[in-house]
Structure 1
Amino acid sequence: MNNTPALDDLRNQLVDEIIAKRPLPAPIEQALRTVRRDLHLPGLNQADAYTNQAVTIEDNPNGPLALSCASVPSTVAMMLAQLNPQPGDHILEIGAGTGYNAALLAELVGAKGQITTIDIDPGVALHAREALNRTGYEDVRVMERDGLKGAPEHAPYSRMIATVGLWDIPAPWWQQLADGGRLVLPLRWRGQTRSIALTRHGNIFVSDDMELCGFVPIVGQTGERTTELANGTVRLHHDQDQPVDPDRLGEVFSTPLTEQWSQTRVSSQETFDGIWLRATASDDTVCRIEVTKQALAEETARRPAIPSRSPVLVSGNSLAYLIAKRDEADPELRSQLGAVGYGPDGTALAHNLIAHITAWGTARTASPRMTVHPVDTPESELPRGHVIEKVDSRMVLTVPK
């Protein structure tokens, strides 16, 4: 299909917006300026295809989250930069989506490269196949396949990228990526999601970049749990190895609250999700709290810093989570970060959270290093750091000194 000058302008404006906030390697910028996202989103207003937002392409009849989405373009660009595709690469993509990301990958690897994209949903796979054919990327291989199994018949891959949320690195993937190859995936632990860039060194994955993101979870992984409190108006999202007991927490919001405040302040433009990330590198009580609009309206719980997703420490019959308030005495009107605790040990947990806030506040750009090891790796062979147990792997997080 022919392009139009108006769509060219819209696409270039979107790319200009993205690179103004995050410079990109020239090949990735050129691919974003070349591939037409609107042709991968039929039925959507063409101008809307060039806004920096996600688009649902298939609803999920079994839950609130979509079954498949076209990711936010700036997130697509960020993950491509993490992956760093090169001409001639052989890449596996897990989560075909609209086929747009596979088209970008095809541009980046060139005629000598290979792209395989897989999706468990037949409708999504068909949508991607038709869009890729329509836009001139017939050489991209599209397979209807359980992403957790990968595509071993076309392995090894020099790079792999997942465009769905993963709670663990599936065991079948370990041998499908070539030694020295790169894996980028949205990985969930302790209630948060980070796009992690990993390189395989023998039987170990080693990270070199972590970026905040959010993705529809892959079908088939069930390592994350949700515990509902206050008649379902407050929810805790935690991992299966964390002993969060709804019976012990049933009356937690009926107890007096305690507030503590750190000396750490943030501007309105500054993200503070690094507190959560740093906390996971030393503290197994940290997970995510979600306080609904109903709970806020009924004043069931003190408002978290971000009601839908804030870090919370949970232990036994007590919890403490992140709060914030505008400091009117601050000439820059920054927000002061603190903690609110509930339950018998709420004060102690709030104190622990203040320590996490303070540690982040003194080194805000420091990010933990992650290594991922096969699940049967003995303790003696793991590096020094904080171990988080998964089903197929053991993650080790280390905070730089």
Structure 2
Amino acid sequence: MVRRLVELGAARSPRVLAAFRSVPRHLATPGLSMAKAYDAEYAAVTKTDAEGVDISSVSAPRIQALQIEQAGIQPGMRVLEIGSGGVNAAYLAELVGERGHVVTMDIDRDVTRRAEDFLTATGHRNVTVLTADGELGTPDRAPYDRIVVTVQAADVPPAWVHQLKQGGRLVVPLRMRGMTRTVALVRDGERLVSDGLELCGFVPMQGAGENRVRLAVLHDTEGEEIALRLDGHPEPDPEALRAALHAPRAEAWSGVTLAGDESNEHLDLWLTTALDNLPLMAAKPAARQRGLVASASPIGVPTLVEGDSFAYRTVRRTEDPDRFELGAVGHGPQGKAVAQRLVEEIRTWDRSHRGHHAHIEIHPAGTPDDQLPAGRVIDRPHTRVTISWP
């Protein structure tokens, strides 16, 4: 597992590698094989809700390592983990050492009970496990040098900012217009400023901070479902878009290529920065196999919606077997024009932003526009999140 984490670039520092070598993570998932428990990419779901939504898991080692590297944890620090489970808390405990302390909390008593059992079995005594809503943090134990959030959050509640030391780091899987990135944020007064982000996936937050995406279903045949994931986007006309889906498709191609192992995560974040109505289209693999869509992803593909038409990002092979051309597939009366508009922004990214990372800032709700960086503004109940580009 540790060798694979190094190959993936998820774990880099000797202390993080040592922590991952020392924790017997299989004790947290007794029903799993050893191979699965130590698979760098495998997240073990431990609880689902009545609707079948995953609400608790032991995150994949790759994601845990990415977040821990982002946090930059040093011996003697006080760390708050929001979203428990035990394994990640053990890694954090290894890193802070005997002079440091970790508080791990979760709203679900089943989850914290498992964490307690795991930490007892592993002998990590410098961890306190609490059952409470992470939205409020733990004011009586603050301030913290680091706060690590292991559930998807759509907002940053004031408690997380106020319980973090000035200059301290908050690492959070932040959902921004449907797209989740684990963002490392440094406290600077009342604002948080990004210092790195990584693509990730986490179970949604519960409690006062719960803010789940909504679905607009475009195709509901069992096993072939296609839907738009809405996260503050304008309400679509599902009937018109369902009709568009089954109409002939139009294609537009950008001339911009990606290497076979090159991620499109920064491109997708640029697209949601530049375009107003860009939900994610999630589709089952069978929908692609039937030819209903050219791209399918459980996370979702950026999809530009304009009235009764839409277009989504896709790729096609080139003469070079290791390069793929970016383009768009459009559906509906204006499908061709919408696809071309999406392609224009792909070209803008390639021309002006490729190789750069987005800059994220989080300001308190009510901050005037003229005090925010230029770029996309996402308004949440507690904060104003900004995405800007160099």
TM-score (norm 1): 0.90
How far the C-alpha of 1:248 sits from its partner, in A, is 4.4
Counterpart Cα distance in 2 of 1:365 and 1:293: 30
Structure 1 partner of 2:96: 109
Pair 27,297 (structure 1): closer, same or farther in 2 beyond 3 Å: closer
Tell me which moved more, 286-295 or 375-384: 286-295
Residue identity matched to 1:354: V
CA contact (8 A) 2:153 2:205 kept: yes
User: C-alpha offsets along residues 27-80 of structure 1, whole Å, 9 cap, x if unaligned?
Assistant: 111111222212333343334322213343523132343221111111111110
Structure 1 partner of 2:105: 118
How far the C-alpha of 1:222 sits from its partner, in A, is 2.1
SS state of the match for residue 218, structure 1?
coil
Aligned with residue 383 of structure 2, among 393, 397, 400: 393
Counterpart Cα distance in 2 of 1:55 and 1:367: 26
Structure 2 partner of 1:90: 78
Aligned with residue 306 of structure 2, among 309, 312, 315: 315
Pair 170,54 (structure 1): closer, same or farther in 2 beyond 3 Å: farther
How far the C-alpha of 1:297 sits from its partner, in A, is 4.9
Counterpart Cα distance in 2 of 1:179 and 1:308: 34
CA contact (8 A) 1:326 1:334 kept: yes
Pair 197,259 (structure 1): closer, same or farther in 2 beyond 3 Å: same
Pair 150,347 (structure 1): closer, same or farther in 2 beyond 3 Å: same
Counterpart Cα distance in 1 of 2:244 and 2:212: 25
How far the C-alpha of 1:247 sits from its partner, in A, is 4.5
Structure 2 partner of 1:19: 6
Counterpart Cα distance in 1 of 2:344 and 2:75: 46
Counterpart Cα distance in 2 of 1:398 and 1:313: 20
Unpaired segments ≥5 residues, structure 1: 1-13
Structure 1 partner of 2:342: 353
Counterpart Cα distance in 2 of 1:62 and 1:331: 48
CA contact (8 A) 1:314 1:320 kept: yes
Counterpart Cα distance in 2 of 1:61 and 1:109: 34
User: C-alpha offsets along residues 344-401 of structure 1, whole Å, 9 cap, x if unaligned?
Assistant: 332232122112222333443211101111111121221222211122111111111x
Structure 1 partner of 2:247: 255
Structure 2 partner of 1:72: 60
Tell me which moved more, 28-37 or 290-299: 290-299
Aligned with residue 238 of structure 2, among 238, 242, 246: 246
CA contact (8 A) 2:177 2:378 kept: no
CA contact (8 A) 1:265 1:335 kept: yes
User: C-alpha offsets along residues 1-40 of structure 1, whole Å, 9 cap, x if unaligned?
Assistant: xxxxxxxxxxxxx112211231511211111122221233
Aligned with residue 370 of structure 1, among 360, 366, 385: 360
Unpaired segments ≥5 residues, structure 2: none
How far the C-alpha of 1:271 sits from its partner, in A, is 1.8
Structure 2 partner of 1:231: 220
Aligned with residue 272 of structure 1, among 264, 270, 274: 264
CA contact (8 A) 1:305 1:322 kept: no
Counterpart Cα distance in 2 of 1:223 and 1:374: 21
Residue identity matched to 1:80: I
Do structure 1's residue 170 and structure 2's residue 160 form an aligned pair?
A: no
Counterpart Cα distance in 2 of 1:17 and 1:280: 32
Counterpart Cα distance in 2 of 1:131 and 1:90: 20
SS state of the match for residue 54, structure 2?
coil
How far the C-alpha of 1:333 sits from its partner, in A, is 4.7
CA contact (8 A) 2:313 2:327 kept: yes
Pair 18,297 (structure 1): closer, same or farther in 2 beyond 3 Å: closer
Pair 359,149 (structure 1): closer, same or farther in 2 beyond 3 Å: same
TM-score (norm 2): 0.92
How far the C-alpha of 1:153 sits from its partner, in A, is 1.8
How far the C-alpha of 1:275 sits from its partner, in A, is 1.6
Counterpart Cα distance in 2 of 1:42 and 1:264: 47
CA contact (8 A) 1:230 1:250 kept: yes
How far the C-alpha of 1:195 sits from its partner, in A, is 0.6
Structure 2 partner of 1:380: 370
CA contact (8 A) 2:287 2:296 kept: no
Counterpart Cα distance in 1 of 2:184 and 2:36: 30
Counterpart Cα distance in 1 of 2:212 and 2:34: 39
Counterpart Cα distance in 2 of 1:117 and 1:317: 47
Alpha-carbon RMSD across the aligned residues, in angstroms, is 2.0
Tell me which moved more, 309-318 or 209-218: 309-318
CA contact (8 A) 1:87 1:110 kept: yes
Counterpart Cα distance in 2 of 1:16 and 1:56: 20
How far the C-alpha of 1:296 sits from its partner, in A, is 3.4
How far the C-alpha of 1:306 sits from its partner, in A, is 4.1
CA contact (8 A) 1:305 1:324 kept: no
Residue identity matched to 1:303: A
Pair 245,392 (structure 1): closer, same or farther in 2 beyond 3 Å: farther
CA contact (8 A) 1:93 1:117 kept: yes
Pair 367,394 (structure 1): closer, same or farther in 2 beyond 3 Å: same
User: Equivalences for 1:260-339 in 2 at 5 Å?
Assistant: 260-299=252-291, 301-304=292-295, 306=297, 309-327=300-318, 330-339=319-328
Counterpart Cα distance in 2 of 1:132 and 1:333: 45
Structure 1 partner of 2:27: 39
How far the C-alpha of 1:316 sits from its partner, in A, is 2.1
SS state of the match for residue 142, structure 1?
strand
